[in-house]
Chain A
């Protein structure tokens, strides 16, 4: 028999109280603080000559140029031109991609025909098509819109197909059992069922579209943010270049917020 030692240490209670700031609130604060901190360091470094202001002008002087460009209306005109191309390009690339992608998900026959074509053209760097686009569509708007459309098309078509193929087969059986027409299968099952995956594709596509519109406008355009950045290089107006980059970054950021909102509306059933 073993001896029983009767040490009566009271069990320790672990204290757990609600954190002062929730994880989310802390993340949100950091999202504002960290870029501001970077700007501050940059400003100080520029003022004290720690960095070459020919390449990295102080944020305050970029801000001055920004205000000038706003006042002259130049910035707005260029931003509007880029946004318009982006918008039409997203529609021109996204809608066919959505329809084709879902149809491919539903029809094996179509998939067999189209999939190799997509697999073969997808790896081509989209920017390398620009000369061809200029050749075919000329220097006007269509070539820019085409470039955006190409960028949006691939991620959306691929994700739409993947999304439909990922839908649990039982839902398609339910559709058949309830005599859903082809169009109803598309509208009530394939489209909403694939929507979460499609939205990922839309995000990727819009990001790609933004990259491509900037590139397309640098060559053969007389307006747009890409053009503004390129002409700043030609005139060595570094501040203007930074303003262009800054606005593109803001557009990217705002588009992300808009797409989050769109997803909340289109996919209300997703667990948060």
Chain B
């Protein structure tokens, strides 16, 4: 169902946040009679850090998997930007542990590049770069079971970035981490992202995280998943996480998103209680 967008070309230079990277039109996803996503339409411009928040079970992962081409929509159209020749369309950082236990850190991070047959020299350079950026160079030869949870998550992020995709899809990459590691990784992610400003679709349960990282935040309704509202984050970049949290604009944004999310979380809770 993936149709490449025609490159509009002309005046819009690459990297300018004008071309759409993702266009979703009337997306419906059903599991039997169960409606996970209900008529969702959305456009994400190229280079945007797009964040999705919503109550548990509202269809966030489902949406991301459809964007990744891992699941098929029941109805509607998905268009994603055609990547430059030789580059992949998207790479996913999965919810939960997803790095291969049987590969060491280096081989895990090199996986995408190897799968598309990149030259050896390029693999060595790119993987080395991202292992440096994620502070994992010393652990290149370690196996996942020798790493902490936070380090494993960094491998997963390095693997996705090293693949150099047009679009990065990240599903709650930091949710399993403690507060300190989370903060460090958020800062790392911001730094790495600001190097290339790829289009990112990022799912999180944390409103703070959404504001810290995102350009635009989409709040989803409880099941069936629909768009509730968007919140644009106008905070300047590059962002310093600690500084950011002291700014009144930040507090205001967090409050706005929370109030919008609260009703949905309560509704989701009532739904769950109704079932049980």
Contact B102 A192 (CB under 8 A): yes
State whether B98 touches A171 (Cβ < 8 A): yes
Give the residues in chain A near B115, CB-CB below 8 Å: 178-181, 184, 188
A174 contacts partner chain B, Cβ-Cβ < 8 Å:
yes
Q: Which residues of A contact B88 (CB under 8 A)?
A: 178-179
Please report whether the interface of chain A is mostly helix, strand, loop or mixed according to DSSP.
Answer: helix
- B100 adjacent to A189 (CB under 8 Å): yes
Neighbouring A residues of B130 by C-beta, 8 Å: none
CB 8 Å contact bits of A168-179 with B (1 = contact, 0 = none):
001101101111
Instruction: Kindly state the interface size class of chain B when it binds its partner.
Output: 20 to 34
- For B92, the closest partner residue in chain A by CB is A177
Q: Which of B68, B102, B144 has the most CB of A within 10 A?
A: B102
Bound Cα distance from A178 to B103, whole angstroms:
15
Cross-interface CB contact of B145 among A178, A184, A192, A271, cutoff 8 Å: A271
**For the complex, what is the distance from the CA of A176 to the CA of B90, rounded to whole Å?**
11
Q: Give the residue name and chain of the B residue nearest to A194 (CB).
A: B102
Q: Which residues in window 127-185 of A have CB below 8 A to B?
A: 170-171, 173-174, 176-181, 184
- Chain A contact residue count (CB 8 A cutoff): 20
Chain B residues, Cβ within 8 Å of A181: 115
CB closest residue in chain B, given A175 = B115
Q: Are B100's CB and A178's CB within 8 A?
A: no
Contacts of A171 in B (CB 8 A): 98, 100
Flag if A269 contacts B112 (CB, 8 Å).
Answer: no
Residues of chain A lying within 8 A (CB to CB) of residue B94: 170, 173-174
* Residues of chain B lying within 8 A (CB to CB) of residue A174: 92, 94, 98, 100, 111
Report B231-261 CB contacts with A as 1/0, cut-off 8 Å. 0000000000000000000000000000000
Contact B102 A176 (CB under 8 A): no
The distance in angstroms between the C-alpha atoms of A192 and B143, with both chains bound, is 14
In the bound complex, how far is the Cα of B159 from the Cα of A188, in angstroms?
A: 15
Given A170-B96, A269-B143, A269-B144 in contact, is the A177-B101 Cβ separation under 8 Å?
A: no
Contact pick for B112, options A173, A178, A192, A193, CB 8 Å: A178
Q: How far apart are the CA atoms of A173 and B111 in the complex, in Å?
A: 13
Beta-carbon contact of A267 and B102 below 8 Å: yes
Contact A178 B163 (CB under 8 A): yes
Task: Give complex CA distance A68, B90 in Å.
Answer: 71
Cα separation A193 to B102 with both chains bound (whole Å): 7
Is there an interface contact between B100 and A177, defined as CB atoms closer than 8 Å? no
- Whether A178 and B102, one on each chain, are in contact in the complex, defined by CB atoms closer than 8 angstroms, is no
8 A Cβ contacts from B91-111 to A: 91-92, 94, 96-98, 100-104, 111
How long is the Cα–Cα vector from A238 to B101 in the complex, in angstroms? 52
Q: Which of A201-258 contact B (CB under 8 A)?
A: none
Complex Cα distance A178/B92, Å? 9
Q: Is B262 an interface residue (CB 8 A)?
A: no
B101, B104, B111: the one contacting A178 at CB < 8 Å is B111
Minimum Cβ distance to chain A for residue B159 (Å): 8
Q: Is B179 located at the chain interface by the 8 A CB criterion?
A: no
Interface-centre pick from B65, B88, B94, B100 (highest chain A CB count, 10 A): B100
* A173 shortest CB reach to chain B, Å: 6
Determine whether the beta carbon of A269 is less than 8 Å from that of B70: no
Residue ranges of B at the interface with A (Cβ–Cβ < 8 Å): 65, 68-70, 88, 90-92, 94, 96-98, 100-104, 111-112, 115-116, 143-145, 163
16 A-B interface contacts by CB (under 8 A): A171-B98, A173-B94, A173-B98, A174-B92, A174-B94, A176-B70, A177-B69, A177-B92, A178-B112, A179-B116, A181-B115, A184-B115, A192-B103, A193-B102, A195-B102, A269-B103
